[in-house]
Structure 1
Protein backbone atom coordinates (compact mmCIF):
# COMPACT_ATOMS: atom_id res chain seq x y z
CA UNK A 1 0.00 0.00 0.00
CA UNK A 2 1.58 3.31 -1.05
CA UNK A 3 1.93 6.19 1.37
CA UNK A 4 -0.56 9.04 1.13
CA UNK A 5 2.17 11.50 0.13
CA UNK A 6 3.31 9.23 -2.69
CA UNK A 7 -0.27 8.72 -3.86
CA UNK A 8 -0.88 12.48 -3.97
CA UNK A 9 2.40 13.15 -5.75
CA UNK A 10 1.83 10.50 -8.41
CA UNK A 11 -1.81 11.64 -8.82
CA UNK A 12 -0.72 15.23 -9.41
CA UNK A 13 1.89 14.07 -11.92
CA UNK A 14 -0.70 11.93 -13.69
CA UNK A 15 -3.14 14.85 -14.00
CA UNK A 16 -0.36 17.20 -15.15
CA UNK A 17 0.69 14.75 -17.88
CA UNK A 18 -2.95 14.22 -18.87
CA UNK A 19 -3.54 17.93 -19.49
CA UNK A 20 -2.02 17.51 -22.95
CA UNK A 21 -4.55 14.76 -23.57
CA UNK A 22 -7.29 17.14 -22.39
CA UNK A 23 -6.12 19.75 -24.91
CA UNK A 24 -6.07 17.14 -27.65
CA UNK A 25 -9.59 16.16 -26.63
CA UNK A 26 -10.75 19.77 -26.93
CA UNK A 27 -9.37 19.95 -30.45
CA UNK A 28 -10.81 16.59 -31.47
CA UNK A 29 -14.18 17.39 -29.93
CA UNK A 30 -14.68 20.14 -32.49
CA UNK A 31 -14.59 17.35 -35.11
CA UNK A 32 -17.86 15.91 -33.73
CA UNK A 33 -16.50 12.37 -33.32
CA UNK A 34 -18.93 9.51 -33.01
CA UNK A 35 -19.28 7.99 -29.55
CA UNK A 36 -17.49 4.85 -30.71
CA UNK A 37 -14.56 6.87 -32.13
CA UNK A 38 -14.47 9.01 -28.99
CA UNK A 39 -14.24 5.97 -26.71
CA UNK A 40 -11.57 4.41 -28.89
CA UNK A 41 -9.45 7.58 -28.88
CA UNK A 42 -9.81 7.86 -25.09
CA UNK A 43 -8.74 4.25 -24.60
CA UNK A 44 -5.85 4.66 -27.02
CA UNK A 45 -4.62 7.82 -25.28
CA UNK A 46 -4.93 6.07 -21.92
CA UNK A 47 -3.05 3.04 -23.21
CA UNK A 48 -0.20 5.14 -24.56
CA UNK A 49 -0.02 7.04 -21.27
CA UNK A 50 0.71 3.64 -19.72
CA UNK A 51 3.00 2.24 -22.41
CA UNK A 52 5.21 5.32 -22.85
CA UNK A 53 6.13 5.80 -19.16
CA UNK A 54 6.60 2.04 -18.85
CA UNK A 55 9.09 2.19 -21.72
CA UNK A 56 10.71 5.16 -20.04
CA UNK A 57 11.07 3.22 -16.82
CA UNK A 58 12.67 0.36 -18.73
CA UNK A 59 15.14 2.60 -20.54
CA UNK A 60 16.26 4.11 -17.24
CA UNK A 61 18.01 7.23 -16.23
CA UNK A 62 20.96 6.90 -18.61
CA UNK A 63 19.07 8.31 -21.60
CA UNK A 64 16.79 10.62 -19.62
CA UNK A 65 18.22 13.96 -20.70
CA UNK A 66 18.73 13.09 -24.38
CA UNK A 67 15.30 11.49 -24.85
CA UNK A 68 13.35 14.30 -23.22
CA UNK A 69 14.59 16.93 -25.65
CA UNK A 70 14.06 14.79 -28.73
CA UNK A 71 10.65 13.47 -27.67
CA UNK A 72 9.21 16.87 -26.86
CA UNK A 73 10.52 18.49 -30.05
CA UNK A 74 9.10 15.74 -32.26
CA UNK A 75 5.76 15.74 -30.42
CA UNK A 76 5.50 19.53 -30.57
CA UNK A 77 6.33 19.62 -34.26
CA UNK A 78 3.74 17.00 -35.14
CA UNK A 79 1.02 18.77 -33.14
CA UNK A 80 1.84 22.14 -34.76
CA UNK A 81 1.68 20.51 -38.19
CA UNK A 82 -1.67 18.87 -37.46
CA UNK A 83 -3.07 22.11 -36.02
CA UNK A 84 -1.98 24.10 -39.07
CA UNK A 85 -3.53 21.46 -41.29
CA UNK A 86 -6.84 21.81 -39.42
CA UNK A 87 -6.81 25.59 -39.93
CA UNK A 88 -5.71 25.95 -43.54
CA UNK A 89 -7.29 23.02 -45.32
CA UNK A 90 -10.82 22.31 -46.31
CA UNK A 91 -12.89 20.57 -43.60
CA UNK A 92 -12.94 17.33 -45.60
CA UNK A 93 -9.14 17.27 -45.82
CA UNK A 94 -8.16 17.92 -42.20
CA UNK A 95 -6.90 15.47 -39.61
CA UNK A 96 -8.24 12.07 -40.44
CA UNK A 97 -8.92 9.54 -37.73
CA UNK A 98 -10.15 6.79 -39.98
CA UNK A 99 -7.28 4.35 -39.59
CA UNK A 100 -5.62 2.89 -36.55
CA UNK A 101 -2.28 4.27 -37.74
CA UNK A 102 -3.63 7.82 -37.87
CA UNK A 103 -5.04 7.52 -34.37
CA UNK A 104 -1.85 5.99 -33.01
CA UNK A 105 0.29 8.79 -34.47
CA UNK A 106 -1.91 11.42 -32.86
CA UNK A 107 -1.98 9.72 -29.47
CA UNK A 108 1.77 9.11 -29.46
CA UNK A 109 2.37 12.84 -29.85
CA UNK A 110 0.57 13.65 -26.61
CA UNK A 111 2.14 10.69 -24.82
CA UNK A 112 5.77 11.56 -25.49
CA UNK A 113 6.10 13.63 -22.33
CA UNK A 114 4.99 10.54 -20.42
CA UNK A 115 8.07 8.77 -21.76
CA UNK A 116 10.26 11.37 -20.08
CA UNK A 117 8.20 11.14 -16.90
CA UNK A 118 8.74 7.38 -16.91
CA UNK A 119 12.48 7.91 -17.27
CA UNK A 120 12.38 10.16 -14.21
CA UNK A 121 10.16 7.82 -12.21
CA UNK A 122 12.65 5.04 -12.79
CA UNK A 123 15.04 6.96 -10.55
CA UNK A 124 12.73 7.06 -7.53
CA UNK A 125 11.29 4.42 -5.23
CA UNK A 126 7.77 4.77 -6.57
CA UNK A 127 5.00 2.23 -6.87
CA UNK A 128 5.36 2.01 -10.63
CA UNK A 129 2.21 -0.06 -11.12
CA UNK A 130 0.15 2.57 -9.33
CA UNK A 131 1.81 5.34 -11.32
CA UNK A 132 1.05 3.62 -14.63
CA UNK A 133 -2.55 2.97 -13.62
CA UNK A 134 -3.07 6.60 -12.62
CA UNK A 135 -1.40 7.85 -15.81
CA UNK A 136 -3.68 5.74 -17.99
CA UNK A 137 -6.90 6.52 -16.11
CA UNK A 138 -6.33 10.24 -15.81
CA UNK A 139 -5.36 10.67 -19.46
CA UNK A 140 -8.34 8.66 -20.72
CA UNK A 141 -10.76 10.57 -18.48
CA UNK A 142 -9.33 13.99 -19.31
CA UNK A 143 -9.39 13.15 -23.03
CA UNK A 144 -13.08 12.28 -22.70
CA UNK A 145 -13.73 15.53 -20.83
CA UNK A 146 -11.85 17.49 -23.49
CA UNK A 147 -13.76 15.86 -26.33
CA UNK A 148 -17.08 16.54 -24.59
CA UNK A 149 -16.24 20.21 -24.00
CA UNK A 150 -14.80 20.48 -27.52
CA UNK A 151 -18.07 19.15 -28.95
CA UNK A 152 -19.95 21.97 -27.25
CA UNK A 153 -17.39 24.55 -28.36
CA UNK A 154 -17.54 23.21 -31.91
CA UNK A 155 -21.32 23.48 -31.86
CA UNK A 156 -21.22 27.05 -30.52
CA UNK A 157 -18.44 28.13 -32.86
CA UNK A 158 -20.03 26.58 -35.95
CA UNK A 159 -17.63 26.30 -38.88
CA UNK A 160 -14.98 28.09 -36.80
CA UNK A 161 -14.79 25.06 -34.51
CA UNK A 162 -12.21 23.40 -36.73
CA UNK A 163 -10.05 26.55 -36.61
CA UNK A 164 -10.41 26.65 -32.82
CA UNK A 165 -9.29 23.02 -32.61
CA UNK A 166 -6.33 23.74 -34.90
CA UNK A 167 -5.26 26.70 -32.77
CA UNK A 168 -5.41 24.52 -29.65
CA UNK A 169 -3.17 21.91 -31.28
CA UNK A 170 -0.66 24.57 -32.36
CA UNK A 171 -0.57 26.07 -28.85
CA UNK A 172 -0.05 22.60 -27.39
CA UNK A 173 2.69 21.87 -29.90
CA UNK A 174 4.44 25.18 -29.18
CA UNK A 175 4.36 24.35 -25.47
CA UNK A 176 6.34 21.20 -26.25
CA UNK A 177 8.84 23.02 -28.46
CA UNK A 178 9.58 25.86 -26.02
Structure 2
Protein backbone atom coordinates (compact mmCIF):
# COMPACT_ATOMS: atom_id res chain seq x y z
CA UNK A 1 0.00 0.00 0.00
CA UNK A 2 1.35 3.43 -0.90
CA UNK A 3 2.13 5.98 1.79
CA UNK A 4 -0.53 8.34 0.39
CA UNK A 5 -3.29 5.72 0.66
CA UNK A 6 -2.15 4.73 4.15
CA UNK A 7 -2.18 8.35 5.37
CA UNK A 8 -5.52 8.99 3.62
CA UNK A 9 -7.10 6.02 5.42
CA UNK A 10 -5.65 7.24 8.71
CA UNK A 11 -7.16 10.66 7.92
CA UNK A 12 -10.57 9.13 7.26
CA UNK A 13 -10.39 7.24 10.55
CA UNK A 14 -9.30 10.31 12.49
CA UNK A 15 -12.02 12.47 10.95
CA UNK A 16 -14.96 10.32 12.10
CA UNK A 17 -15.42 12.16 15.41
CA UNK A 18 -15.23 15.50 13.57
CA UNK A 19 -17.76 14.15 11.05
CA UNK A 20 -20.20 13.23 13.83
CA UNK A 21 -19.80 16.62 15.50
CA UNK A 22 -20.22 18.38 12.14
CA UNK A 23 -23.51 16.56 11.70
CA UNK A 24 -24.52 17.82 15.16
CA UNK A 25 -23.65 21.40 14.17
CA UNK A 26 -25.72 21.01 11.00
CA UNK A 27 -28.63 19.70 13.07
CA UNK A 28 -28.90 23.03 14.86
CA UNK A 29 -28.86 25.17 11.69
CA UNK A 30 -32.19 26.44 10.42
CA UNK A 31 -30.52 27.95 7.39
CA UNK A 32 -27.15 27.02 5.89
CA UNK A 33 -24.64 29.79 5.47
CA UNK A 34 -21.72 28.65 3.36
CA UNK A 35 -19.43 30.84 5.43
CA UNK A 36 -20.41 28.99 8.64
CA UNK A 37 -20.01 25.58 6.99
CA UNK A 38 -16.58 26.61 5.70
CA UNK A 39 -15.51 27.84 9.16
CA UNK A 40 -16.70 24.63 10.86
CA UNK A 41 -14.86 22.46 8.32
CA UNK A 42 -11.79 24.69 8.56
CA UNK A 43 -11.64 24.37 12.36
CA UNK A 44 -11.94 20.58 12.27
CA UNK A 45 -9.61 20.13 9.29
CA UNK A 46 -7.13 22.64 10.69
CA UNK A 47 -6.93 21.01 14.10
CA UNK A 48 -6.70 17.52 12.58
CA UNK A 49 -3.71 18.81 10.60
CA UNK A 50 -2.16 20.75 13.49
CA UNK A 51 -2.30 18.00 16.10
CA UNK A 52 -0.11 15.46 14.23
CA UNK A 53 2.36 18.30 13.68
CA UNK A 54 2.44 19.01 17.43
CA UNK A 55 2.67 15.29 18.20
CA UNK A 56 5.57 14.97 15.77
CA UNK A 57 7.60 17.39 17.89
CA UNK A 58 6.55 16.08 21.27
CA UNK A 59 8.16 12.76 20.43
CA UNK A 60 8.61 9.69 22.52
CA UNK A 61 9.47 11.40 25.81
CA UNK A 62 5.98 12.82 26.34
CA UNK A 63 3.89 10.06 24.75
CA UNK A 64 2.91 8.42 28.05
CA UNK A 65 1.78 11.75 29.54
CA UNK A 66 -0.41 12.62 26.57
CA UNK A 67 -2.02 9.23 26.07
CA UNK A 68 -2.71 8.90 29.79
CA UNK A 69 -5.03 11.94 29.85
CA UNK A 70 -6.22 12.53 26.27
CA UNK A 71 -9.39 10.49 26.73
CA UNK A 72 -10.35 12.43 29.87
CA UNK A 73 -9.92 15.76 28.08
CA UNK A 74 -12.05 14.63 25.14
CA UNK A 75 -14.70 13.17 27.48
CA UNK A 76 -14.98 16.35 29.57
CA UNK A 77 -15.06 18.74 26.59
CA UNK A 78 -17.60 16.70 24.62
CA UNK A 79 -19.69 16.12 27.77
CA UNK A 80 -19.86 19.83 28.57
CA UNK A 81 -20.65 20.90 25.02
CA UNK A 82 -23.11 18.03 24.48
CA UNK A 83 -24.82 18.83 27.78
CA UNK A 84 -25.12 22.49 26.79
CA UNK A 85 -26.59 21.50 23.43
CA UNK A 86 -29.03 19.14 25.14
CA UNK A 87 -30.17 21.81 27.59
CA UNK A 88 -30.46 24.42 24.80
CA UNK A 89 -32.55 22.00 22.74
CA UNK A 90 -34.90 21.27 25.63
CA UNK A 91 -35.13 24.95 26.57
CA UNK A 92 -35.79 25.99 22.94
CA UNK A 93 -38.43 23.26 22.63
CA UNK A 94 -40.17 24.56 25.76
CA UNK A 95 -39.91 28.20 24.66
CA UNK A 96 -40.56 27.44 20.97
CA UNK A 97 -37.80 29.92 20.31
CA UNK A 98 -36.97 30.34 16.63
CA UNK A 99 -33.67 32.14 16.83
CA UNK A 100 -31.06 32.20 14.10
CA UNK A 101 -28.02 29.90 14.31
CA UNK A 102 -24.96 31.71 15.60
CA UNK A 103 -21.54 30.20 15.20
CA UNK A 104 -19.83 30.12 18.60
CA UNK A 105 -16.09 30.15 17.88
CA UNK A 106 -15.12 29.30 21.48
CA UNK A 107 -17.35 26.24 21.41
CA UNK A 108 -16.05 25.29 17.97
CA UNK A 109 -12.46 25.65 19.23
CA UNK A 110 -13.16 23.25 22.13
CA UNK A 111 -14.92 20.79 19.83
CA UNK A 112 -12.01 20.88 17.39
CA UNK A 113 -9.55 20.14 20.20
CA UNK A 114 -11.72 17.36 21.64
CA UNK A 115 -12.11 15.62 18.28
CA UNK A 116 -8.44 15.91 17.30
CA UNK A 117 -6.61 14.76 20.41
CA UNK A 118 -6.18 11.28 18.94
CA UNK A 119 -4.40 12.90 15.98
CA UNK A 120 -1.78 14.15 18.46
CA UNK A 121 -0.91 10.56 19.37
CA UNK A 122 -0.85 9.65 15.67
CA UNK A 123 1.67 12.46 15.13
CA UNK A 124 3.91 10.95 17.79
CA UNK A 125 3.69 7.64 15.92
CA UNK A 126 4.58 9.41 12.65
CA UNK A 127 7.71 10.74 14.36
CA UNK A 128 8.74 7.22 15.40
CA UNK A 129 8.11 5.87 11.88
CA UNK A 130 9.89 8.84 10.27
CA UNK A 131 6.89 9.71 8.07
CA UNK A 132 6.98 13.02 6.15
CA UNK A 133 4.99 15.20 8.56
CA UNK A 134 4.02 17.95 6.08
CA UNK A 135 2.51 15.39 3.70
CA UNK A 136 0.77 13.61 6.59
CA UNK A 137 -0.77 16.73 8.09
CA UNK A 138 -1.86 18.02 4.67
CA UNK A 139 -3.65 14.80 3.73
CA UNK A 140 -5.27 14.40 7.16
CA UNK A 141 -6.35 18.07 7.31
CA UNK A 142 -7.84 18.09 3.79
CA UNK A 143 -9.62 14.79 4.34
CA UNK A 144 -11.18 16.01 7.60
CA UNK A 145 -12.11 19.36 6.03
CA UNK A 146 -14.06 17.66 3.22
CA UNK A 147 -15.71 15.09 5.50
CA UNK A 148 -16.72 17.79 8.02
CA UNK A 149 -18.08 20.01 5.26
CA UNK A 150 -20.29 17.15 4.07
CA UNK A 151 -21.27 16.35 7.67
CA UNK A 152 -22.75 19.80 8.26
CA UNK A 153 -24.98 19.43 5.20
CA UNK A 154 -26.09 15.94 6.27
CA UNK A 155 -26.97 17.34 9.70
CA UNK A 156 -28.90 20.20 8.14
CA UNK A 157 -31.05 17.80 6.12
CA UNK A 158 -32.11 15.96 9.27
CA UNK A 159 -32.20 19.09 11.42
CA UNK A 160 -34.68 20.89 9.20
CA UNK A 161 -37.05 17.93 9.50
CA UNK A 162 -36.80 17.45 13.25
CA UNK A 163 -35.78 20.93 14.55
CA UNK A 164 -35.38 20.99 18.38
CA UNK A 165 -35.44 17.21 18.69
CA UNK A 166 -32.43 17.15 16.36
CA UNK A 167 -30.51 19.52 18.64
CA UNK A 168 -31.34 17.33 21.63
CA UNK A 169 -30.19 14.28 19.66
CA UNK A 170 -26.99 16.14 18.69
CA UNK A 171 -26.24 16.86 22.35
CA UNK A 172 -26.80 13.23 23.26
CA UNK A 173 -24.54 12.13 20.38
CA UNK A 174 -21.70 14.38 21.61
CA UNK A 175 -22.03 13.00 25.13
CA UNK A 176 -22.03 9.42 23.78
CA UNK A 177 -18.93 10.12 21.62
CA UNK A 178 -17.13 11.49 24.69
CA UNK A 179 -18.18 8.46 26.74
CA UNK A 180 -17.09 6.10 23.94
CA UNK A 181 -13.64 7.74 23.79
CA UNK A 182 -13.27 7.42 27.57
CA UNK A 183 -14.42 3.79 27.68
CA UNK A 184 -12.17 2.80 24.76
CA UNK A 185 -9.09 4.26 26.43
CA UNK A 186 -9.99 2.63 29.75
CA UNK A 187 -10.30 -0.70 27.91
CA UNK A 188 -13.97 -1.12 28.78
CA UNK A 189 -15.35 -0.84 25.25
| TM-score, length of structure 1 as denominator length | 0.89
Higher-Rg member (1/2): 2
Name the stretch that deviates more: 29-38 or 143-152. 29-38
User: Helix, strand or coil for the counterpart of 1:123?
Assistant: helix
After superposition, residues 147-162 of structure 1 pair within 5 angstroms as 147-162=152-167
Distance 2:28 2:68 in 1: 31
Compute the RMSD of aligned alpha carbons: 1.9
1:132 aligns with 2:129: no
After superposition, residues 61-72 of structure 1 pair within 5 angstroms as 61-72=60-71
Which of 96, 101, 120 in structure 1 is aligned with 2:125?
Answer: 120
Q: Please state how far the C-alpha of 1:34 moved relative to its aligned partner.
A: 2.6
Structure 2: runs of 5+ lacking an equivalent: 184-189
Q: Which residue of 1 aligns with 2:46?
A: 47
Q: Which residue of 1 aligns with 2:56?
A: 57
Which of 20, 25, 28 in structure 2 is aligned with 1:28?
Answer: 25
1:176 aligns with 2:173: no
Distance 1:107 1:48 in 2: 6
Distance 1:54 1:69 in 2: 19
Distance 1:145 1:167 in 2: 21
Q: Which residue of 1 aligns with 2:82?
A: 83
Count of aligned positions: 173
User: Contact 1:64/1:120 (CA < 8 Å) preserved in 2?
Assistant: no
1:144-163 Cα distance to aligned partner (Å, 9 max, x none): 11111110111122321101
| TM-score, length of structure 2 as denominator length | 0.84
Distance 2:71 2:177 in 1: 11
User: Contact 1:58/1:122 (CA < 8 Å) preserved in 2?
Assistant: yes
Distance 2:75 2:3 in 1: 30
